[in-house]
Structure 1
Amino acid sequence: METFSGTDISKTISSQDMAQTRRMVEATNVDLTGKREVSGDLGKDDFLKLLITQLSNQDPTNPMEDREFIAQMAQFSSLEQMTNLNSEFKAMSRMLGAGQAMNLLGKDVAVYDGDSRIEGSVTEVTTGSVPMVMVNDRYYSLEDVQSIRTPQQQLNQNVN
C-alpha cells in the first residue's frame, strides 16, 4: 500500500487509475528522453507545460481552487517578465560594451595576451556580442584591456 504525505492513496484512487497514471508518466518520460536537453533551469515553457498537465490531470470531484490557479498564473506572468528583462539586460550589456570599445579609439592601451603584455594605440574597433579592439594590427577582446592612457600627443596639445 502506497502512501503520499501520510494519506493512503488506495482510498483516494483506484488501483486501475494508479496503474494508468504510472503508464502515462512512464510514457511521457520516455517521450521526453532525447527530445530535450536536460538542464537545471526551468523556463516559462516548462512552467506552462506543468500547469497544463496539472489542470488536465486534476481530480474532477475536487478541482483546483481559484486562488491556487490565480497564484500559479501570477507566478507564470512573473517568470515571463523576468525572462523578458533578462533579454533586455543582455542587449543593453552588448550596447554598453560596444560603446566602451568605441571610446578606446585612438587611446593607448595595455592588453594582456596570455602572459605577455602588449602596448599600443587602438586603431579599430568591432562591435557585436564580444567587442574587439585592434592594437598593433591584431584584435583583442575588450575584456583583455588592462589599462588605458590618453596618448602623449593629446596631453601635450591640452597643456599648450
Structure 2
Amino acid sequence: MKVDPSLMLSNQNRGPETNSDLDKDAFLKILMTQLTNQDPLDPMKDQDFVAQMASFSQLEQMTNMSSEFSRFFNGQLSQNFLQFSHLIGKEVTYRAVVDDKVQELQATVKSVKRQGEDILLTLQNDEVIKAEQVYEIESSMNENEVL
C-alpha cells in the first residue's frame, strides 16, 4: 500500500506564525473568555480572580512605566544635545588616538549633531569626535574680545 505524500505531517501547513508576547489586550481577552466559559457549578474562586486581576494590573503598570521611561530617555537625549550646543565656537581639548598613541589635541567646535544616543562634535579641522572625548573647554579669542 502506497502512502499519499500530501498526508505526511511534514507537508502540512502549520498555520500562521503567532507572536508569543502577550500584551494587556490579549491578557484581558483570555480572562474574559475564561470567565464566560467557566462551569457555573464550579465558578472561579475569588482568590483566583483577584490574583489574575492583580497580574493584569501589574502588566498594565509595567507597560505604562516602560513607555514613560522611553519618553524620559528621549527627552534626556534632546536635553543633552541642546546643552552641547553651547560648545559651538569654543575651543576644546580632547583625546584622540593618532598613530596608536593617545594624544591631546585642540580645535574649535564648528557644529554639534546627535547620532542615535551619541553627541558628535564637528571641529574646524573637519574631524568628528564624540562629546565624551572632550575634557577641557576654553572660550575662543572672539568671545574674549566681546567681553
Which bin holds the TM-score, normalised by the shorter protein? 0.5 to 0.7
C-alpha RMSD of the superposition: 3.1
TM superposition shift of 1:157: 2.5
The question of 1:78 aligning with 2:61 is answered yes
Q: Answer yes or no: is the 8 Å Cα contact 1:109–1:146 preserved in 2.
A: yes
In structure 1, the residue matched to 2:8 is none
Flag structure 2 segments of 5+ consecutive residues without an equivalent. 1-16
TM-score (norm: length of structure 2) = 0.62
Q: How does 1:1-150 map to 2 (within 5 A)?
A: 45=21, 61=42, 63=44, 65=46, 66-114=49-97, 115-129=102-116, 130-135=118-123, 136-150=125-139
- Residue 122 of structure 1: SS of its match in structure 2? strand
- Residue 127 of structure 1: SS of its match in structure 2? strand
Flag structure 1 segments of 5+ consecutive residues without an equivalent. 1-30, 37-44
Q: Answer yes or no: is the 8 Å Cα contact 1:107–1:122 preserved in 2.
A: yes
TM superposition shift of 1:153: 3.1
Aligned length: 118
**Residue 155 and residue 62 in structure 1: after superposition, are their counterparts in 2 closer, same or farther (change >3 A)?**
same
Q: Runs ≥4 in structure 1, deviation > 2 angstroms? A: 45-52, 54-57, 59-66
Paired amino acid for 2:71 = E
Equivalent-residue separation in structure 2 for 1:111 and 1:49 (angstroms): 51
Paired amino acid for 2:113 = T
Higher relative CO (Cα under 8 Å, sequence separation at least 6) belongs to 2
**Structure 1 vs Structure 2: percent identity of aligned residues?**
16
TM-score (norm: length of structure 1) = 0.58
Equivalent-residue separation in structure 1 for 2:86 and 2:27 (angstroms): 48
Equivalent-residue separation in structure 2 for 1:118 and 1:62 (angstroms): 75
